Amino acid sequence: MNNDIYSKYLVKLPTMWCPGCGNGIVLQAIIRSIDEMDLDLDKVVFVSGIGCSSRAVNYLNFDCMHTNHGRAIAFATGIKMANPELKVIVLTGDGDCASIGGNHLIHACRRNIDLTIICMNNSNYGMTGGQYSPTTPIGSITKTSIYGSYEPPFDLCDLTKSAGASFVARAATYYPVQMKNIIKNAINHKGLSFVDCASDCPSLYGRLNRLSDAANMMSLWKDRLVTIKQAETMSSEQLQGKVIWGEFVNNNDREEYCDIYARNISKAKESING
Amino acid sequence: MGSYQIMTGNEACARAAIAAGMSFFAGYPITPATEIAELCSELLPQNNGVYMQMEDEIASIGAIIGASAAGKKVMTATSGPGFSLMQENLGWAHINEIPCVIVDVMRKGPSGGSATLPAQADIMQTKWGSHGDYRSLVVVPNSVEEIYTETIRAFNLAEKYRQPVILLYDAVLAHMSEKIYVRDLDEIEIINRSKPSCDKKDYNPFNYESSKVAPLASFGEGYKIHFSGLTHDETGFPVSNQNTTGLEVLIHHLFDKIDDNYDKDIKKYETFMVDDADVLVVSIGITSRSAKAAVAAARKQGIKAGLFRPITMWPFPHDDFSRINLKSKAIVTAEMNNGQLNQVVIEDIDRNQKLVMKNLYDGNQIRDIDILNSIIEANKYEQ
């Protein structure tokens, strides 16, 4: 069964990711979610930017576009508007979508265009050797914060929710089955869906912060992760250092951008016909 | 049967693009190119086309590249500051051979410069703007009518040679109104990208064996197309850093597909009274119109002057220009910048030929009388 899934959806293995990297778990959750859905695989397009996460498209047996750093969402917007029939999935990372591509992220959320954005959030720039990113927790040691990171990080779910995304969720590599289900809901959702995938970079972030090996890093999530329901009953002191996961927004009331644009076309045609 | 119409340069650009089949425009407002976006926002949705006002120029060119890969004919329009922002994605379109048209309406720079004043200072940027090796295709019209015809040619070249084509003109041409002849649609030659006919499993999005470009499938057609900004092989997947041949053939192809076809339909220039010219004026765009008047005035004074005007700016027609300027004793370059065309023609002139530069970068156009004075000065030169 596993091998069938790999040969159906993946090409050019093995991946370039380090042992213990969370990206493989996210990629597996993506293809397993697609495998459970009834999608026309010829109509699915993956778009990515630059970074370890964005390398994922180089292993996928789909229409794929590996673009420039931060720009995946801009390219994806053009693809979707050119052919709204296509299911467009953006694979990105914390540096790619929240730093250099932050502007495209918030504007895609504002438009509520039907893209699925999956962010492999490993709290650092892995491809360049482990520098701090916009999601690095304060105090973390990275190659550019050897005295401890001092910049306040983004909560990407808060950010995308505020910007107007109609589906916002956080999944974690610690819970791969739940991640698969969340990604499935995100892909099925009509409108901008954003999934923040809490992930690990043992080779760089883990090593620099003396978190031991990949298995140990993974086990640390057990105490850190709390569900939205659990968080509701916890005080702000109890939530210190915790990561809340689950579906924060799943709103079908907001009109999707391709539909909005279709109304614009109707108005334009009315203006010349009557 | 066509018709005569009065319109501005920017209007001609938008209308010609739609006539050429452009159905997707993404842009960001910027003086002096904004009217192109405005007109596209009005006209495109009337015919199921897409106008997208993106969050910046980086997103604008990103969106048109994506839309082109999904099968649309696409365009964006900007001016210097926005064109600078587009450079990284422009390189991506080159390495992935994505057809698209980018309009750069030049204003006075550098930086914000003087937004409403014309200039011709982006000539070199349109050739070298993005990093790495690639072959730019740039056309430079000099009238509203030529903006119309060259916009259509820009789309034809983009689709035929699978790459970005830049349409370059200045703020004066953008906003001046002229009477132009507009052909009927069935009288216009329209070229569309070639589509694959092979088995879907055998399809490669690139062809590096010859200077012929590979047919371009669209996303969603089942070809499983792979595009990457990394150096890739014919399958579109990245090549290893150890594969030096693989790293090299991609670059060869980007140059060969243009250079091998240059004389067929890429090269284009205008000459005026060059056959016996002692003094040859080289000028592009709006300035070439002053230059032509100056050449005519010089002839009236008995000075054998001529004009060489590139319409395809890049690649520059070096061979033809070298042949034409053989008999001239002096070359005059006239341009609204501090010296860019002169650096191009200097490659083709002899050490016993004199080069006179007429440059203006105070936001005004160069007057014919000023170019005439440069011609008179150049004519005094004894070889």
Q: What is the pLDDT of residues B97-145, one digit of tens each?
A: 999 999 999 999 999 999 999 999 999 999 999 999 999 999 999 999 9
Inspect the interface and report whether the beta carbons of B69 and A85 lie closer than 8 Å. no
- Summarised one tens digit per residue, pLDDT across range B207-262 is 999 899 999 999 999 999 999 999 999 999 999 889 888 889 999 999 999 999 99
Q: Give the span between the Cα atoms of A68 and A59, in whole angstroms.
A: 17
> Dihedral through CA B314, CA B317, CA B322, CA B323, nearest 10?
-170
Ranges of chain A with pLDDT below 50? 1
> According to the model, what pLDDT value does residue A235 have?
97
Of A64, A86, A268, the CB nearest to B227: A64
> According to the model, what pLDDT value does residue A2 have?
59
Name the domain count of chain A: 1
Q: Give the span between the Cα atoms of B328 and B15, in whole angstroms.
A: 40
Is residue B23 within 8 A of residue B72, CB to CB? The reply is yes
Residue B162 has φ and ψ, to the nearest 5°, of 50, 65
Q: Is the dihedral of CA A257, A259, A263, A264 positive or negative?
A: positive
- Summarised one tens digit per residue, pLDDT across range A21-32 is 999 999 999 999
Residue B115 has φ and ψ, to the nearest 5°, of -55, -35
> According to the model, what pLDDT value does residue B246 have?
87
Q: Give the span between the Cα atoms of A15 and B157, in whole angstroms.
A: 38
Inspect the interface and report whether the beta carbons of B50 and A43 lie closer than 8 Å. no
> According to the model, what pLDDT value does residue B214 have?
97
> According to the model, what pLDDT value does residue A227 have?
98
Inspect the interface and report whether the beta carbons of A42 and B221 lie closer than 8 Å. yes
Q: Give the span between the Cα atoms of B107 and B119, in whole angstroms.
A: 5
Of A57, A64, A78, the CB nearest to B62: A78
Residue among A18, A33, A11 at smallest CA distance from A195: A33
Q: Give the span between the Cα atoms of A249 and B108, in whole angstroms.
A: 47
Contacts of B278 (CB under 8 A, 6+ apart): B303, B304, B305, B327, B328, B329, B330, B379
Place of tokens 């694979």: A91
User: How many Cβ atoms are within 10 Å of B245's Cβ, its own excluded?
Assistant: 8
Measured in angstroms, the CA of A219 and the nearest CA of chain B are apart by 35
- Summarised one tens digit per residue, pLDDT across range B283-316 is 999 999 999 999 999 999 999 999 999 999 999 9
Chain A's closest residue to B41, CA to CA, is: A268
Chain A's closest residue to B95, CA to CA, is: A67
Alpha helices in chain B (DSSP H): 9-19, 34-43, 57-69, 80-85, 87-95, 123-128, 144-161, 171-175, 244-259, 285-300, 318-324, 341-345, 368-379
Q: Is the dihedral of CA B140, B145, B149, B152 positive or negative?
A: positive
Residue A74 has φ and ψ, to the nearest 5°, of -65, -45
- Summarised one tens digit per residue, pLDDT across range A136-192 is 999 999 999 999 999 999 999 999 999 999 999 999 999 999 999 999 999 999 999
Is residue B75 within 8 A of residue B44, CB to CB? The reply is no
Q: For chain B, which domains are there? A: 3-187 (3.40.50.970), 269-379 (3.40.50.920)
Bridge-based pairing of strands B269-272 and B305-310 is: antiparallel
Q: What is the percentage of chain B residues whose pLDDT exceeds 90?
A: 96
Least confident of A210-224, B23-37, B65-79: A210-224
Is residue A167 within 8 A of residue A186, CB to CB? The reply is yes
| Coil vs helix vs strand at B150 | helix
> According to the model, what pLDDT value does residue A1 have?
47
Q: Give the span between the Cα atoms of B377 and B332, in whole angstroms.
A: 10
Q: Give the span between the Cα atoms of A22 and A218, in whole angstroms.
A: 9
Residue A21 has φ and ψ, to the nearest 5°, of -65, 140
Note whether ipTM > 0.90 here: yes
Q: Does residue B268 have a pLDDT over 80?
A: yes
Bridge-based pairing of strands A167-172 and A193-198 is: parallel
Which whole number is the average pLDDT over B27-40? Answer: 98
Inspect the interface and report whether the beta carbons of A67 and B237 lie closer than 8 Å. no
- In the numeric block, which tokens belong to residue B166? 């830049």
Measured in angstroms, the CA of A204 and the nearest CA of chain B are apart by 23
Residue among A75, A98, A84, A78 at smallest CA distance from A190: A84
Contacts of B280 (CB under 8 A, 6+ apart): B274, B305, B306, B307, B308, B324, B325, B328, B330, B331, B332
Per-residue three-class SS string for chain A: CHHHHHHHHECCCCCCCCCCCCHHHHHHHHHHHHHHCCCCHHHEEEEECCCCHHHHHHHECCEEEECCCCCHHHHHHHHHHHCCCCEEEEEEEHHHHHHHCHHHHHHHHHHCCCEEEEEEECCEECCCCCEECCCCCCCCCECCECCCCCCCCCCHHHHHHHHCCCEEEEEECCCHHHHHHHHHHHHHCCCCEEEEEECCCHHHHHHHCCCCCHHHHHHHHHHHEEEHHHHHCCCCCCCCCCEEEEEEEECCCCCCHHHHHHHHHHHHHHHHHC
Gyration radius of chain B over CA positions: 21
Q: Which amino acid is at A180?
A: K
Range of the domain at A26: 2-273
Measured in angstroms, the CA of A205 and the nearest CA of chain B are apart by 26
Q: What is the largest CA-CA distance in chain A?
A: 71
DSSP letter, residue B314: E
Is residue B161 within 8 A of residue B93, CB to CB? The reply is no
Q: Which residues of A touch B86 (CB under 8 A)?
A: none
Report the DSSP beta bridge partners of residue A162.
none
Number of H helices, E strands in chain B: 13, 16
Enumerate chain A positions whose Cβ falls within 8 A of a Cβ in B: 12, 42-43, 45, 47, 50, 57-58, 61-68, 71, 74-83, 85-86, 103-104, 107, 261, 264-265, 267-269, 271-272
pLDDT tier at B50, thresholds 50, 70, 90? very high
> According to the model, what pLDDT value does residue A12 have?
87
Alpha-carbon separation of residue B382 from B276, B302, B303, B349 (angstroms): 16, 16, 14, 16
Q: Give the span between the Cα atoms of B170 and B286, in whole angstroms.
A: 7
Q: Give the span between the Cα atoms of A71 and A108, in whole angstroms.
A: 12
Which whole number is the average pLDDT over B72-92? Answer: 98
Q: Is the dihedral of CA B342, B344, B347, B349 positive or negative?
A: negative
Inspect the interface and report whether the beta carbons of B64 and A78 lie closer than 8 Å. yes
Alpha-carbon separation of residue A7 from A4, A57, A59 (angstroms): 5, 15, 11
Q: What is the pTM of this model?
A: 0.98
The CATH number for A176's domain is 3.40.50.970
Q: Does residue B1 have a pLDDT over 90?
A: no
Measured in angstroms, the CA of A46 and the nearest CA of chain B are apart by 10
Q: Give the span between the Cα atoms of B56 and B89, in whole angstroms.
A: 13
> Dihedral through CA A273, CA B2, CA B3, CA B4, nearest 10?
130
